[in-house]
Structure 1
Amino acid sequence: MAASVRKGIVGGTCAVMTIIAIVVSNGAVRTSEPGLELIGDAESCQRDPYVCPAGVLTDGIGNTHGVKPGVRKSDAQIAADWQRNILQAEACVNKYANGKKLNQGQFDATVSVTFNVGCGTMQKSTMFWLFRQGKMNDACNEFPRWVYGDGKKLPGLVIRREKEKAMCLKG
């Protein structure tokens, strides 16, 4: 691994709440502040590129698009990347999980898992099919199935999916 791509960077962190404030102030996303907090807390915020548990070069708050080794990002750059990524996840949820009919908790939780796993995978999932069928509680109970990264059950994903499921069921 190159010296400029490190795991667990000390001093390269940024404040998730600062990034959330920037994104919320733009008014472009439907995901609520609690939904953004769930995603941001699970992903953490790093100014410098790092390799995530799935082996993907990442920066900011779970951003994998256009990441360049050795390039440190500002809060504004991180917020812009994250907003774009959240909007992509929202579009996927709207298109493939009947997102416009989901209540706020269901929508936020589903955006979170989609942000993490990717639209290509989620659009074919039982969870999204259940949402399209209007079987909201059944769909919410699918979250614990999504706890694997690179073929391994990841404790961080178990915790994240429990929080997403609770948010989804609470509405």
Structure 2
Amino acid sequence: MAQLNKKAGAAGAVCSVGAIIAIVLNAGHVRTNERGLELIGNAESCRRDPYVCPAGVLTDGIGNTHGVKAGVSKTDAQIAADWEKNILDAERCVNTYANGKKLSDNTFSAVTSITFNVGCPTMKQSTLYAMFRDGPAAWQSACNQFPRWVYAGKTILPGLVKRRDAERKLCLDGL
């Protein structure tokens, strides 16, 4: 444990994605299922202390960029509250722009994951969302759009390749 704490101190204090998922699921406010929350949480990881993400944004918790203050560490309860708010924002986007209320829980959770990662302003204009709006006949094609979203600028990021593959599988499992 001492070794883990030394390691965590160098990279920022880590927290348990599983513990945060349990808090969020217990609250019962999000529709995203456990598989979806695990996908998002494991892809984003969990950190108590603020850090600058690859996009150059001050981030904490599980991919939270709202109200992050340099030097301020968060508790599990604070991280869970921030994450739940961010998940609910992504879910509203999926419901509003991607036919979310008609999607199965697995498909909905996959679309929420990519929306959480990429952001609603970008996703609501995407081909992927348009295909979900087109209805069930286009949903398999929509799920197959996930692997296109692996770039940071012009660079393919291995972590995004892995995440999009998992999202695609979860999406297709819902059909």
The 8 Å contact of residues 12 and 50 in structure 2, kept in 1 or not, is answered as no
Question: 3-state SS of the aligned residue for 1:31?
Answer: coil
Q: 1:161 to 1:140 in 2, by over 3 A?
A: same
Q: CA deviation at 1:8?
A: 8.6
Q: What's the TM-score once normalised by structure 2's chain length?
A: 0.91
Structure that is richer in helix per residue: 2
Query: After the TM superposition, which of the residue ranges 69-78 and 8-17 deviates more from structure 2?
Result: 8-17
Task: Give the corresponding residue for 1:36.
Answer: 37
Question: 3-state SS of the aligned residue for 1:105?
Answer: helix
In the TM superposition, what are the counterparts of 1:95-134 in structure 2 within 5 Å? 95-134=96-135
Is 1:155 the counterpart of 2:161 in the alignment?
Answer: no
Q: CA deviation at 1:150?
A: 4.0
The 8 Å contact of residues 20 and 79 in structure 1, kept in 2 or not, is answered as yes
Is 1:142 the counterpart of 2:169 in the alignment?
Answer: no
Q: 1:150 to 1:65 in 2, by over 3 A?
A: farther
Task: Give the corresponding residue for 1:50.
Answer: 51
How many pairs align?
165
Distance 2:15 2:163 in 1: 20
Q: CA deviation at 1:55?
A: 1.2
Q: What's the TM-score once normalised by structure 1's chain length?
A: 0.93
Distance 2:155 2:24 in 1: 32
CA RMSD of aligned residues (A): 1.4
Q: CA deviation at 1:71?
A: 0.5
- CA deviation profile, 1:27-74 (whole Å, cap 9, x unmatched): 000000111000000000000001111111100000000111100000
Q: CA deviation at 1:9?
A: 4.3
What percentage of residue pairs aligned between the two structures are identical? 65
Is 1:22 the counterpart of 2:26 in the alignment?
Answer: no
The 8 Å contact of residues 54 and 150 in structure 1, kept in 2 or not, is answered as no
Q: CA deviation at 1:10?
A: 3.9
Q: Which amino acid aligns with 1:129?
A: A
Any gaps of 5 or more consecutive residues in structure 1? 1-6
Is 1:169 the counterpart of 2:169 in the alignment?
Answer: no
Distance 2:165 2:9 in 1: 24
Distance 1:8 1:25 in 2: 29
Task: Give the corresponding residue for 1:65.
Answer: 66
The 8 Å contact of residues 48 and 59 in structure 1, kept in 2 or not, is answered as yes
Distance 1:9 1:95 in 2: 41
Distance 1:70 1:11 in 2: 10
